[in-house]
Amino acid sequence: MMKSYNEIEGRFKRLTDLNGALAVLHWDSAAMMPAGGATARADQITALSLVCHDMMVDPALNELLSKAELESDKSPEDFDNWHLANLAEMRRMWQHANAVPSDLVEALSQATSACEMVWRDARPDNDFARLEPLLTHLVSLVREVAAAKSEALGISPYDALLDEFDPGTRSADIDPLFDGLDIFLPEFLQQVKEVQSSGRQPEPLNGSFAVADQRALAERLMNQLGFDFDFGRLDVSHHPFTGGVPDDVRITTRYYEDDFTQSLMGVLHETGHALYERGLPSQWRHQPVGTARGMTMHESQSLIIEMLACRSEEFVRYLTPLVKETFGGSGPAWEAENLVRHYRRVQPGLIRVDADEVTYPAHVILRYRLEKNLISGDLTVADLPGAWNEAMQKSLGLTPPDDRDGVLQDIHWPSGAFGYFPTYTLGAMAAAQLFDAAQNDNDAVVIGLEHGDFGPLLSWLRTHVHALGSLMSTQDLMVRATKKPLDVEVYKAHLTRRYLGG
């Protein structure tokens, strides 16, 4: 009674393998590919993207999906919750793919590859004018995709893009959360700055920190976190990210020889992503239900590791002697209390990836609002730098001196990722809530951090998040794990405890 369903599983197995090849090609283009390979790589990625799209728009697939859905109705005893969720995810993916014609898929893939490659030179050269025509063309194509999916899915164009990254999440869910944070953060930020300015200031960690030493420390901590180097690797790229597939996870970072703190936390952040990928249900590895439950949940897993666990006082006390051993540091600046002050220092800055935990949401809200206006047509790419600078001044009291540290700093828009940014702060909210639940369920979670033991935390995450894949919606997963849906008040309470001691 599952004949059609089983045939679809075979099709999605092939599709998953092809998409995995695409993921590795994207990673290679960012971390290993010589600049001269850009054109050939763009052609390869486009060709594979079209093959995947053709598989999804094959009329036979829709017929099989309809038959499988009928099978599940007629023989419910043959379909458990995993099968039903897998079928629902297949249908969702089919709806997204069939809304967009093949020629638009091809044009978007080519435009994305071209725009991303130009961004890599335009940012260090502070040359937005060079990127502008390519980004303008890319945005116009993204708008076409958004409009087509909007009509097919019956939701707004921006929500159609958001649904690709976070299935089921809508801007109507996000707006009240972000509006509330927008009200909360300015006064809270001022309070934190007053408290920190009246206290002891972080002493500088002076020195030249060799990249080889930074990498050695990062790999040591990755091992302790549970990262298996038989199934992944650490490399360098312009912008830190996690790519590849669950059995071949690729982490990248970037190093600064005058500051080891940023790269170290960046690696720990990406390791959180990698652990999620590795912990997804192996028995559903090649099916939609076996994939991560959207980017809000993915970002929550990286932030639980980086922000909640690895910036905790307990873990920093464990980390301190490792840092001293690695870099030969000594004296008061190299004690745990000072390292905590460095990792808890709140100071508005221009760069999102380097932002502290309190000001980071302002960076995300800024981008979320700008990209919504870009998709709606209320903002043009030509006006984006000015709009960016104005929003940055309003939200953080800073005006970028140039576009390098302003509108050019992120790879997301040049790579066509519109609808991704809000998941960073939604993920921060989810991280606070999940970590709170993990601590309440098991005292060993925090105790373990004092000894560099992530076993209790990882075990809890494996059970309550990783192993569930896409079995349920983000909200249902949150309720199952924490007994409540995503709640901004838990996030506010975490920030208050950490930075004001309340």
- CA dist 127 and 121 (Å) reads 8
CB environment 413-440: b (16+ within 10 A), e (fewer): bbbbbbbbbbbbbbbbbbbbbbbbbbbe
In Å, how far are 225, 366, 458, 481 from 440, measured between CA atoms?
A: 21, 34, 15, 11
Q: In what order do the strands lie in the sheet with 242-245?
A: 232-236, 248-253, 242-245
Strand, coil or helix: 395: helix
Helix (H, G, I), strand (E, B) or coil at 222: helix
249 forms beta bridges with 232, 244
SS3 content of the chain, % helix, strand, coil (to 5): 70, 5, 25
Residues 6 or more apart in contact with residue 54 via CB below 8 angstroms: 102
Q: Encoding tokens for residue 174?
A: 């996000």
Q: Could you give the CA distance from residue 256 to residue 238 in angstroms, rounded to a whole number?
A: 12
345 vs 355: CA distance, rounded Å? 10
Q: Which two tokens stand for residue 400?
A: 């970028």
**Buried-exposed string 35-58: b where 16+ CB fall within 10 A, e elsewhere:** eeebeebbebbbebbeebbebbbe
Residue 473's Cβ-side half-sphere holds a number of Cα atoms within 13 Å equal to 11
Contact assessment for residue 229 and residue 250, using Cβ atoms and an 8 Å cutoff: no
Tokens representing 453? 């033991």
Distance CA 261, CA 267 (A): 10
The SS3 of residue 198 is helix
Q: What are the distances in angstroms from CA 329 to CA 40, 317, 323, 335, 450?
A: 47, 15, 8, 9, 21
Chain centroid, CA 200 distance in Å: 34
Nearest CA to 302 among 277, 257, 269?
Answer: 269
Annotated catalytic residues are 270
